[in-house]
Amino acid sequence: MISTDLCEQVYITFPKAWWKAKGDTTYPGYTNWLPPKYAQTTNAHAWPQEAYDLAAFPDPHSHPTLLLYLYGDCSEYIATVAYRMPKEDQYSLLNAFFKPYYSLLPHYDEDSEECVPLAFLATSWRFDEFSGNGSYCNFQIGIDQADKHVQALQAGLPEKGLWFAGEHTAPLEEMGTATGAYLSGERVAKQIIDKYLL
């Protein structure tokens, strides 16, 4: 059976995308710090971190922002901080937690104001009943015929007027994404129209 995990996101906005020096195309737009050992005081569990570069978008959509995608125990920790701690206290804790990672990006300068975050935005979807509590589907190690589970969800029970939409019923390559949720909604809408209106 497909199980669910909980995901959260953290956005770190800077005055400028300093990791992309003018003319430098070496930063790929995605970074993954696999179980980091160098942030023991803030990340003693060595939870992996991954960042997406939102400055990589073409204008006018480019932003000097890093998006960190969190899951598992790390997402629980950060979401709990974001949910329970007053906004004015979040900055220092989040900066202490994420600085060991963003400071490793190209062109980081400890003394430059451009390298100091303007703001952090951490989600706390796991505490929001209207956002599915931050859950998404994933395939557990050892699952057998996962594609059949997805196909059963995609099929729904139209004879009983029951259809399923959401990232968990998306095409396999789009599962776990907002795009997948949208595509599945379109599919279900077409199925309902075909059944009742055509």
Cα separation, 129 vs 135, whole angstroms:
10
pLDDT band at residue 18, thresholds of 50, 70 and 90?
A: very high
Provide the pLDDT for residue 135.
64
Q: What residues have CB less than 8 Å from 25, skipping those under 6 apart?
A: none
By mean pLDDT, which of 69-83, 122-136, 161-175 is the weakest? 122-136
Q: Is pLDDT of 158 > 50?
A: yes
Instruction: Say if CB 53 and CB 29 are below 8 A apart.
Output: yes
Cα separation, 156 vs 159, whole angstroms:
9
Q: Is pLDDT of 150 > 80?
A: yes
Across 51-68, average pLDDT = 91
Provide the pLDDT for residue 3.
47
Strand residues in 14-131 grouped as ranges (E): 30-33, 49-53, 65-71, 119-122
Across 121-132, average pLDDT = 84
Provide the pLDDT for residue 112.
96
4 or 43, which is more confident? Answer: 43
* 175-189 pLDDT tens trace: 777 788 899 999 999
The percentage of the chain sitting over the pLDDT mark of 90, rounded to a whole number, equals 45
135 or 149, which is more confident? Answer: 149
Provide the pLDDT for residue 99.
97
Provide the pLDDT for residue 57.
85
Report pTM. Answer: 0.72
Q: Is pLDDT of 4 > 60?
A: no
- How many beta carbons lie within 10 A of that of residue 163, not counting itself? 20
Provide the pLDDT for residue 66.
97
